[in-house]
Amino acid sequence: MSTIITVENLSRKFGSATAVDGISFEVEQGSIFGFLGPNGAGKTTTINILCTLLSPSSGTAIIDGHDCARESSEVRKKIGIVFQDNTLDKELTAYENLLFHSYLYCVPKGVRKQRIDEALHFVDLHERKDDQVKKFSGGMKRRLEVARSLIHQPKILFLDEPTLGLDPQSRTNLWEFISKLPEEQGVTIFMTTHYMEEAEICRKIAIIDKGKVIARGSPDELKKMVGGDVIYLKTSDNASSLRDIQSLLNLDAEEVGSEIFIPVIGNGDACIPKLISALGERVIAVRMQRPALNDVFLKLTGKDIRPESMSGNNEIKDTIRSYRRKFDK
């Protein structure tokens, strides 16, 4: 598998603040690569350097053999981008937006219409091609932006938070189109997201926090870093419970939102009775799961990648009652 993007020791400062801090990674041609991190981690700054919109303070980024800082026009021919913020002209129709893009990228006149038609079919918007974009839903606008980014047949497509703000159905729908791109159009995808579950689609992932890459690997490799199952506890007194979990049971534990997060080595089943025995009446609820990508971030940084997800979105699957029954036997 050949490498199409190579980033080495890349940094970018804004004044005295360092947005990107000496990051290195590679992206394989024809793969979907995920760049994950919380708000302000440095994802968009990195994309802007790779897309030649921003120069690095130090380090190098090479795309398909061309240096992003020194050979920007060569790099620009190879790439398409869907920006974090919507950049369609809402007064124009879907077709007109794509036509305008084809002029900007000097798509030859003889193939313009065909490329636009194909792209609109690809994202299932051909029937709406003559509607003004202001009449589109958020999901349709995102799909149209993906279609637009394909008109000049880029080798690499950058998607910066492509599903931000979309409802779950539109997110799933958009991923159906995006995931077909490597195979059907031979496009390499570089995507950022802070929806960890979306990154399962990636062949390789780099996790970035505060400008640094803190982990790299396939989704499975990253999850193995957690070690075993993960347990989430709700208790009536998280501070004292946390102390007891660490001192009495000698387990790693972090308070995350309203819960206590405990990554265990191996199988978590055996651990639950011990937790209940140590914490007694303080335990309100327990849930256990195989590690997800979000747990990798939690384990590495002690924080949730999406703090807003902790505010009540967490379904407590297994109630204390079933574990008490097991424990009382």
Ligand X SMILES: Nc1ncnc2c1ncn2[C@@H]1O[C@H](COP(=O)(O)OP(=O)(O)OP(=O)(O)O)[C@@H](O)[C@H]1O
Q: Which residues bind ligand X (CB under 6 A)?
A: 14, 19, 37, 39-45, 84, 194
Q: Which is nearer to ligand X, 33 or 122 (CB)?
A: 33
* 188: Cβ contacts below 8 Å, ≥ 6 apart: 4, 5, 27, 28, 29, 30, 31, 32, 33, 155, 156, 157, 182
Q: Which is nearer to ligand X, 112 or 212 (CB)?
A: 212
Stretch that binds Mg ion, among 38-46, 145-153, 222-230, 295-303 (CB under 5 A): 38-46
Q: Which is nearer to ligand X, 4 or 49 (CB)?
A: 49
* Angstrom distance (rounded) from CA 116 to CA 119: 5
Closest distance of CB 159 from ligand X, Å? 12
User: What are the two backbone dihedrals, phi and then psi, of residue 150, each rounded to the nearest 5 degrees?
Assistant: -95, -10
* Angstrom distance (rounded) from CA 147 to CA 77: 17
Stretch that binds Mg ion, among 44-52, 249-257, 281-289, 308-316 (CB under 5 A): 44-52
- Tell me which of Mg ion, ligand X, none is bound by residue 34, counting a contact when its beta carbon lies within the kind-specific cut-off of 5 to 8 angstroms: none
- Smallest Cα–Cα separation from 181: which of 156, 218, 206? 156
Cα distance from N-terminal residue to C-terminal residue, the chain: 55
- Tell me which of Mg ion, ligand X, none is bound by residue 11, counting a contact when its beta carbon lies within the kind-specific cut-off of 5 to 8 angstroms: none
Size of the site for Mg ion (CB under 5 A): 3
Handedness of CA 86, 91, 95, 97 (dihedral sign): negative
**With b meaning 16 or more CB within 10 Å and e meaning fewer, what string describes 47-70?**
bbbbbbebebeebbbbbbebebbe
How many alpha carbons lie under 13 Å from residue 249 in its C-beta half-sphere? 22
**With b meaning 16 or more CB within 10 Å and e meaning fewer, what string describes 292-312?**
bbbbbbbbebeebbeeeeeee
Q: Which is nearer to ligand X, 42 or 257 (CB)?
A: 42
- Smallest Cα–Cα separation from 178: which of 165, 193, 227? 193
- Tell me which of Mg ion, ligand X, none is bound by residue 39, counting a contact when its beta carbon lies within the kind-specific cut-off of 5 to 8 angstroms: ligand X
Closest distance of CB 47 from ligand X, Å? 8
Q: Which is nearer to ligand X, 48 or 241 (CB)?
A: 48
Closest distance of CB 161 from Mg ion, Å? 6
- Tell me which of ligand X, Mg ion, none is bound by residue 194, counting a contact when its beta carbon lies within the kind-specific cut-off of 5 to 8 angstroms: ligand X
- Tell me which of Mg ion, ligand X, none is bound by residue 41, counting a contact when its beta carbon lies within the kind-specific cut-off of 5 to 8 angstroms: ligand X
CB 129 within 8 A of CB 95: yes
Closest distance of CB 153 from ligand X, Å? 27
Q: Which is nearer to ligand X, 199 or 231 (CB)?
A: 199
Helices assigned H by DSSP within 195-291: 219-224, 238-248, 271-279
- Tell me which of Mg ion, ligand X, none is bound by residue 45, counting a contact when its beta carbon lies within the kind-specific cut-off of 5 to 8 angstroms: ligand X
Closest distance of CB 164 from Mg ion, Å? 9
- Report if residue 44 touches Mg ion, rule: CB under 5 A: yes
Closest distance of CB 329 from Mg ion, Å? 51
Helices assigned H by DSSP within 105-204: 109-122, 138-150, 168-185
Q: Which is nearer to ligand X, 113 or 303 (CB)?
A: 303
CB 187 within 8 A of CB 200: no
- Tell me which of ligand X, Mg ion, none is bound by residue 102, counting a contact when its beta carbon lies within the kind-specific cut-off of 5 to 8 angstroms: none
Of all helices (H) and strands (E), which one includes residue 289?
Answer: strand 283-289
Closest distance of CB 311 from ligand X, Å? 18
- Tell me which of Mg ion, ligand X, none is bound by residue 40, counting a contact when its beta carbon lies within the kind-specific cut-off of 5 to 8 angstroms: ligand X
Q: Which is nearer to ligand X, 82 or 233 (CB)?
A: 82
Considering only residues 69 through 98, tell me which ones interact with Mg ion, judged by CB under 5 A.
84
The residue type found at 224 is: K
Q: Which two tokens stand for residue 78?
A: 């190879």
Q: Would you tell me which residues interact with Mg ion (CB under 5 A)?
A: 43-44, 84
